Chain A
Amino acid sequence: MTSFLPQFPLSANPLLLFGLLLLSGLAGGELARRVLHLPRIIGYVLIGLALGTSGLGLLDAGLVKQAWIVVDIALGLILFELGRRLHFTWLRNDRWLLATGLLESALSFGCVYFALIYFDVKPIFAALAAAIGVSTSPAVVLLVAQELKAEGQVTERALNLVAMNSVIAVILTTMLLPWLHHEYRASWTMIALHPVYLLGGSLILGYLASVVAILFSRWVGKHAERQLVMLLALIVLAIGAARMLELSVLLALLAFGVFSRNLDARHDLMAVELSGVGQMFYVVLFVVGGARLDVLGLMTGGAVAVVYVAARFVGKSIGVMSLTYFSGARAGAAGLLCIVLTPMSGIALALVHETSNLYPGFGAELASIVLSAVLILELIGPVAVQFALRRAGEAKDQAERAPGAA
């Protein structure tokens, strides 16, 4: 018999899956760019939607789970890069930027929470959904900015605000866990110690990774390639350690990025470009994200999702519009910043995912509120960011600005 031949039915494996997702996502991105003139990200998400439960059903929950390791790596890379954008020196020199970040985070939490309560969502769900809504998708903002090669005050300020509200969203969600544990009648030790362990442990892990990165790069010297590989190693290591220790991957990697930027007093770490390597993980991140979205859910939970999206936009916009004037930003920047803060995606999905791991029942209900909103914002978000950065005149592919235009 021909025993050396594969046996039918053929069984897939994670590598095959990864390659297929990558290739199909890439094709979707290219189509979005060429045919629709939209950011590539939208193409990735649409391919995900088409392959996922809402579409052909090829990418079911089991396969999504298999692909989760890629999502982890992608989010890790993005959060690290985002963390490196959060520059304490800047926040010291332009305190109104710091104030803007705090206010827009607080107001978006408040607006979403009370809007959901008003629409009869249970407080615990409303609170967690609102905490998740504080975050803006760093993946969308970073990737669109990179795709446009955008550079300037709106881009830089937006990335700092995104970094701030991502940190705040993750910390808020963690601090709400006692309430959730209480609701599910967990033990008092669980209620009291779990958030402390999550916050403390993740921060320490990020801190340690940054110390190793700084010392290692001091030893290696100023060689971009070696520093790149070292950072990739530490990022993957930190993700793995966070998983092993049941810590927050999001917080640990954000902390890694923030510390490595702000503790590196001797400037040993180079500003190496991770986006080239990251690109293949980012494509899969959005395809898998798209596959997890539920169009039918949007049909039924659509009203809540629209309320959620609107309340979040209002909260963030009031925060940004009221304080940006006092910061060093030019006139007109505030409105554009409000638009750049629109997208939600990866962090929101990951936060829902992590809550679901604790209490699957709760997670499913939370998902029904948040994911519909993510579906809307994942499609609108990239377009919004692209519009705002172009409007700011900060995209590189734009023709030289017309004389006289501000």
Chain B
Amino acid sequence: MSEMDFKRSPELSVGVELELQILNSRDFDLARDAADLIALLEKTPVPGAVKPEITESMVELNSSIHKSHDTLVAELKTIRDAVTQAAQRLNVRIAGGGSHPFHMWADRRIYPTERFSLLLERYGYLAKQFTIFGQHVHIGCPDGDAAIYLAHILSRYVPHFIALSASSPFQQGEDTAYQSSRLNTVSAFPLSGQIPFVQSWDEFTNYFNKMRGFGIIESMKDFYWDIRPKPEYGTVEIRVFDTPLTVERAALLAAYAQSLARHILTQRPLAPSRDVYVLYSHNRFQACRYGLEGKIVDPYSQRQVGLKDDVAETLALIAAHAAELGNADALARLQAEIAADRTDAGWLREAHRERGSLNDVARMQSDLWMGLDLKAG
């Protein structure tokens, strides 16, 4: 069985990976306790999985496979509570958000595994700058050809995912003016970008083999694309989300992606278009820089549209599919948050205005993720 055999997965199922920040409790800078945290969590039964990431200040939580929003959010809350409890025993904190507001990348330490050491050797300082935190959403596909189609159509909606999840306004102690500054860091990697404009799984496998033949890559893991097929899971993986400030928000975003995917795979509403990729960088930049206030060019209608309106139209378009999946309530909540202009980047900037200190921002964002803010007052 080769790596490129596309495994069947429950169609339109959804799974979530969350990269999270580990902070110390003294000044709320990033800490180095990933190995201790993972070791402690191994002693307690937690659903899903807890894994190391490239630096010792990060931890990745994986949900299991879900059919809809409600079971997903319930499981994510259970994992969150277990992780929170373990973190408290180590006197560290866990926070969401796409970036830590003031850590210095040079202070980071690579997590000791063979693969991560190799990445440090290959990419130099980029490996440490990669201490940024994303949410990955997996959507189950019936076969490889469907995965390729889904990836191309979802690419048109990448600005939505970025704007809805944006939670990295601060980097290295400065306000970046971006809603999501995280993706600028990803773009520095030579194998970042988008899937090539192939139309079938066979064509994609040829591309993969060619790249491997050149010695450019060894496995699918080496592509840092915004959206990539994951044959071993039988999924398409959307990787442009910043990790939201709460697991509840993470589940809402997953519900949005899952409902949209159902619309795309059952209706086949659009044909893959090169224009999506012609306009891709511009549209992606607009979403990173301005969030829902950004203006993109719709590659299909060739008109300029505000992202907020575009998301609203999409929500209406996929409403029936959301209902079918049991995600209607979740998307209604997402819609209400959009209408109220509640975004994670906005929350972080507001916290900074209120307290005047990025240490406090980091503390408050960990209070929020761990669910301590109500008790602490």
Contacts and interface: CB of A to CB of B under 8 A. Distances in A.
Interface string B319-340: 0000000000000000000000
Interface stretch (B83-91, B173-181, B278-286): B83-91
Given A93-B88, A94-B91, A151-B32, A402 B112 contact: yes
B39 interface: yes
Given A90-B25, A267-B363, A394-B32, A405 B112 contact: yes
Interface in B64-107: 86, 88-91, 107
Interface string A388-406: 0000001010001111111
B191 interface: no
Contacts of B91: 87, 89-90, 93-94, 156
B359 A271 contact: yes
A222 B27 contact: no
Given A93-B91, A156-B91, A328 B357 contact: no
A400 B359 contact: no
A151 B109 CA distance: 11
A130 to B, nearest CB: 30
Contacts of A394: 32
Interface string B221-262: 000000000000000000000000000000000000000000
Contacts of A153: 33, 36, 90
Nearest to B364: A267
Interface residues of B, number: 33
B198 interface: no
A270 interface: yes
B357 A400 contact: no
B357 A270 contact: yes
Contacts of B25: 87, 89-90
B31 to A, nearest CB: 7
A221 interface: yes
Interface in A72-92: 85, 87, 89-90
Contacts of B31: 151-152
Interface string B335-376: 000000000000000000001110110010000000000001
A271 to B, nearest CB: 4
A65 interface: no
Interface string A289-313: 0000000000000000000000000
A374 B363 CA distance: 40
Contacts of B113: 403-404
B356 A222 contact: yes
A152 B112 CA distance: 15
A349 to B, nearest CB: 28
A152 B32 contact: yes
Nearest to A221: B356
Nearest to B28: A271
Contacts of B86: 328
B316 interface: no
Contacts of A89: 25, 88, 91
A151 B90 CA distance: 13
Contacts of A152: 31-33, 36
Contact of A328 (B40, B110, B120): B40
A222 B360 contact: yes
Nearest to B26: A271
Given A90-B25, A156-B91, A404-B112, A222 B36 contact: no
Given A271-B26, A400-B120, A401-B112, A327 B363 contact: no
Interface in B16-69: 24-27, 31-33, 35-36, 39-40
A330 interface: yes
Nearest to A154: B36
Contacts of A151: 24, 31-32
A57 to B, nearest CB: 44
B112 A271 contact: no
A329 B25 CA distance: 16
A281 B236 CA distance: 60
Contacts of A267: 360, 363
Of A153, A222, A265, A404, most B-chain CB atoms within 10 Å: A153
A406 B376 CA distance: 35
A156 B26 CA distance: 10
A93 B84 CA distance: 11
B45 to A, nearest CB: 16
B89 A94 contact: yes
Given A90-B25, A222-B360, A404-B112, A327 B32 contact: no
A270 B88 contact: no
A402 B31 CA distance: 19
B186 to A, nearest CB: 22
B117 interface: yes
A271 B102 CA distance: 14
B357 A222 contact: yes
B118 to A, nearest CB: 9
Contacts of A270: 27, 357, 359
Nearest to B114: A403
A152 to B, nearest CB: 5
A330 B109 CA distance: 19
A330 B359 contact: no
Interface in B106-127: 107, 109-110, 112-114, 116-117, 120
A398 to B, nearest CB: 9
B117 A400 contact: yes
Contacts of B88: 89-90, 93-94
A405 B110 CA distance: 12
A264 B101 CA distance: 22
Given A403-B117, A405-B112, A93 B89 contact: yes
Contacts of B27: 270-271
A124 to B, nearest CB: 39
A330 B35 contact: yes
Given A87-B91, A94-B89, A401 B109 contact: yes
B360 A328 contact: no
Interface in B137-163: none
Contacts of A329: 36
A-B pairs, 7 with minimum CB distance: A328-B89, A271-B27, A222-B357, A93-B88, A90-B91, A401-B112, A403-B114
Given A151-B24, A152-B33, A271-B27, 11 more contacts: A89-B25, A152-B32, A156-B91, A265-B376, A267-B360, A270-B27, A330-B39, A331-B39, A400-B109, A400-B110, A404-B114
14 contacts: A85-B26, A94-B90, A151-B24, A151-B32, A156-B91, A265-B376, A270-B27, A330-B36, A396-B109, A400-B112, A400-B117, A403-B114, A404-B114, A406-B35
Interface of A: 85, 87, 89-90, 93-94, 151-153, 156, 221-222, 265, 267, 270-271, 327-331, 394, 396, 400-406
